[in-house]
Amino acid sequence: MSPTRTLQDYDLDALRERVLPERAGTRADSIPQLAEADPDLFGIALALPDGSVRSSGDGRAPFSIQSAVKPFLFALALADIDGAALDRVGIEPTGEAFDAIKLESDTGRPPNPMVNAGAILTCALVHGNDPEARAERIRDGLSRFAGRALSVDEDVAHSEHLLGDRNHALAHLMRAEGTLDDSADDAVAVYARACAVVVDVETLAVMGATLAFGGVNPLTGERVVASEIARDVVAVMATCGVYDGSGRWMRAVGVPAKSSVSGAIVLSAPGTAGAAIVSPPLDEQGTSVRGRIAAEALSADLGLHVFG
């Protein structure tokens, strides 16, 4: 039985039922929309090489992508400035929280593109003559990763911009270090809109699969980014995608992933599949509790661990 056939036969409903009784975790409260999220929302999806997408539970329930957008922002920045984003942002794990007010001491760069400082900077590196054009370029790029047109939740974008005090602090710090060329307010506004893009787990699984398959969207067949860019992004997801829990994640799950305060996790199993899970209650590292348990079981059941 080929790996693709195994993925097609895998019982996602049984996996969801296995994890459903877990009630631990708390919802993020940085903006009202996250604090009011349905704690019972729980969906799992797989995107396969043939372009098919399978899901269980709340597979098409919409939510804001939040930090799960960061790998794709990094990919767009790498594409738009011909890989030079690697000179503007580090790629080392920090062992600290995603919004830590910290830059590299010797360079003034963000430590990696998966923390907030790095994502704010990669947003600013995407092409666009002004913040509105840059935000639209990002939305269009994310849509190509998804294989369908994506929209922005304007209320979420407003809240992210208005209440993102630590993001504003990071942007001002990068301005002071000469790392960020845009104004702090413009940079945070673009990042806020990127985080407010609306997806569902089926869409997010396709986005993860596009990275897993070397930058080619399995749904549309379009090459979204070069294979080298996809490789670099997935590598940084493996080391930095779950913040200060990245080492534990790679030991237990072994699939490059990016967590999100909306309770979403996007996974890219190189050459095999994309996957996504959403469940809003989070652990202390800001990772979905059910999502982490489901991802570990999915990896074990299907032999997805990259070091397995």
Rounded CA-CA distance 271/227 in Å is 11
Contact 88, 123 (CB under 8 A): no
Element of type H or E holding 199: strand 198-199
- Tell whether residue 259 is among the known ligand binding residues: no
Contact 276, 201 (CB under 8 A): yes
- Tell whether residue 261 is among the known ligand binding residues: yes
The phi, psi pair for 259, rounded to 5°, reads -90, 170
- Tell whether residue 191 is among the known ligand binding residues: yes
The phi, psi pair for 265, rounded to 5°, reads -135, 130
- Tell whether residue 160 is among the known ligand binding residues: yes
Of 259, 240, 247, 115, which is closest to residue 174 (Cα–Cα)?
A: 115
Of 18, 121, 80, which is closest to residue 225 (Cα–Cα)?
A: 80
* Residues forming a β-bridge with 259: 265
- In the three-class reduction of DSSP (H, G, I as helix; E, B as strand; rest coil), residue 34 is classed as helix
Rounded CA-CA distance 181/145 in Å is 27
Tokens of 251: 């030991």
* Residues forming a β-bridge with 276: 45, 266
- Tell whether residue 10 is among the known ligand binding residues: no
- Tell whether residue 132 is among the known ligand binding residues: no
Q: Give whole-number Cα distances, 107 to 88, 91, 184, 204, in Å.
A: 9, 13, 19, 34
Rounded CA-CA distance 272/131 in Å is 36
Contact 53, 60 (CB under 8 A): no
Residues in the annotated binding site: 67, 116, 160, 167, 191, 243, 261
Residues in the annotated binding site for substrate: 67, 116, 160, 167, 191, 243, 261
